[in-house]
Amino acid sequence: MEHGEESTTGTTYDPAAEVVELCRDLIRIDTTNYGNHEGPGERKAAEHVAGLLDEVGISSELYEATPGRTSLVAHWGGEGAGKDRDALLLHGHLDVVPAAAEDWSVDPFAGEIRDGYLWGRGAVDMKDFDAMLLSVVRARQRAGRAPERPVVLCFTADEEAGGHHGAEVLVDQHADQLEHCTEAVGEVGGFSTTVRGRRLYLVEAAEKGMAWMRLTASGRAGHGSMINDDNAVTRLSGAVARIGAHRWPIRLTPTMEVLLATVGELAGVEATPENAEELVQEFGGASRMLGAVIRNTVNPTQLDAGYKVNVIPTEATAHVDGRFLPGFEDEFFETMRELCGEGVEWDFLSHQQPWETPYDGDLVGAMSRSILAEDPDALVAPYTMSGGTDAKHFRRLGMRSYGFAPLRLPADLDFTALFHGVDERVPTDALEFGARVFDRFLDDV
């Protein structure tokens, strides 16, 4: 059945029919994650999703180890000839990062539509994919088109703070709900960039590891007016300055070798480590993200020391956000130890492993075909994500994971700047495109 045709139940089948309104409704539910327990939590959004699934006859369960930090799991399809197949996990998170309303052009939680865009916190990260998934699932369920392959639908809490109250809870305490899943598809992939006039869709096939670290320097307390050669603030400041100024060497992983080779063909050159940075610049605004996945990175983000201007403290602390490539964790921590120097120790706020899935197999083929069916002149290639997603947790159960939330974007849109950015927004026609692509994808898996 093609989009817009009448289903066997007598209704017009359109997987994109609800996607914009579903996304608006999700944006209007404030699920801000402050990285502590002071936010509204995800329960209201999880209950909303449960109601949307219940309307079309799909039952779900809510899980929370911490009050209000709620995730949802539902089982769908898997009847008839496909009932004995391994399951496919489709996952999205319900939380969003904070938004300072005074910085925005619109109310970040109003779900306003303006100039062909849906504006609001979560429009890009990642209530857009939640809405695509719900629109497609509801349309297919109404039309009697549940997939033959078993599918687990998962909407999680706390992804924006590492997933410790969301996906990690499901993996550690409710793995039985996921035990038959061998493949997983989630966020931050399938969106288009434009390189030399060609649309290139990036499918996430790898993620850097995460090392959120607290650095602590100790010293001798004393009066601010006296000489002190054992100053914790001085010691920490030196470490932070070295870390911030360090130029990490280029390291090409298999995923990025494929992506840069694709861009090299468009540019008429062979991709090498020596011209990797030049090829990354072909992506325009997206080069900020892609430039971070050809090397390890670490950025100082917070500093804290002392309590009075004339008192030298015994301790100073800094927080840094470190990200390391698959296969280069040892190099990362060896370099960090050198940069910190003597007298500076660290502990982890979050330490999660990188992952990389080979860009091959039936699922990859289905993603490519579904995009090309809607955009025949496009190219599709894998990339490594600079940040982290819930895939880090689900990968611990042995799943092959990818990011595939398809969006056809204008060439002049600096899309990657909208992740966690001010005036976050997504084109409404890109949401509809994504729903159509994802519907084709489910036909093919």
Considering the domain architecture, whether residues 339 and 402 belong to the same structural domain is answered as: no
Three-state SS at 176: helix
* pLDDT at residue 79 in the model: 82
Whether residues 344 and 363 fall in one domain: no
Q: What percent of the chain has pLDDT over 70?
A: 97
Reported confidence tier of residue 364, pLDDT bands at 50, 70, 90: very high
Q: For residue 124, name the pLDDT band (cuts at 50, 70, 90).
A: very high
- Chain segment 258-313, per-residue pLDDT in tens: 999 999 999 999 999 999 999 999 999 899 899 999 999 999 999 999 999 999 99
In this structure, the answer to whether residues 344 and 367 fall within a common structural domain is no
What is the CATH number for 262?
A: 3.30.70.360
Task: Strand 209-218: give its sheet, edge to edge.
Answer: 297-305, 315-324, 209-218, 344-352
Residue 8: pLDDT over 70: no
Q: Are residues 185 and 234 in the same domain?
A: no
Same domain, 294 and 341: yes
pLDDT confidence band for 11 (50 / 70 / 90): low
Q: Which residues contact 144 (CB under 8 A, 6 or more apart)?
A: 7, 8, 9
Q: Looking at 320, 352, 384, which one is the last position of a domain?
A: 352
Domain end position, chosen among 314, 332, 352: 352
Residue 10 has pLDDT above 90, yes or no: no
In a domain, 70, yes or no: yes
**How does residue 84 score in pLDDT terms, banded at 50, 70 and 90?**
confident
Number of structural domains (the chain) is 2
Cα(357)–Cα(443) distance, rounded to whole angstroms? 22
In this prediction, residue 317 carries a pLDDT of 98
Residue 94: half-sphere exposure toward Cβ, Cα within 13 Å: 35
Domain boundary among 352, 384, 408: 352
Same-domain pairing of 178 and 44 = yes
Please, are residues 94 and 128 in contact by the beta-carbon 8 Å criterion?
A: no
d(CA 240, CA 219): 16
Average pLDDT over residues 413-426: 94
Q: Are residues 360 and 347 in the same domain?
A: no
The pLDDT, as a whole number, for residue 2 is 58
Q: CB–CB of 392/352 below 8 Å?
A: yes
Of 379, 399, 385, nearest to 126 by C-alpha is 385
Q: Which domain holds residue 98?
A: 19-192+356-444
User: Could you tell me if 115 and 39 lie in one domain?
Assistant: yes
Question: To 10 degrees, what angle do helices 19-27 and 127-142 make?
Answer: 140
* Residues 62-82, mean pLDDT to the nearest whole number: 92
Asked if the structure places residue 200 within a domain, the reply is no
Element (H, E) at 27: helix 19-27
The pTM for the full model equals: 0.92
Asked if residue 80 has pLDDT above 90, the reply is no
User: What's CA 416's distance to the chain center, in Å?
Assistant: 11
Check pLDDT > 90 for residue 7.
no
Q: What is the mean pLDDT of the chain?
A: 95
Average pLDDT of the residues in 429-433:
98
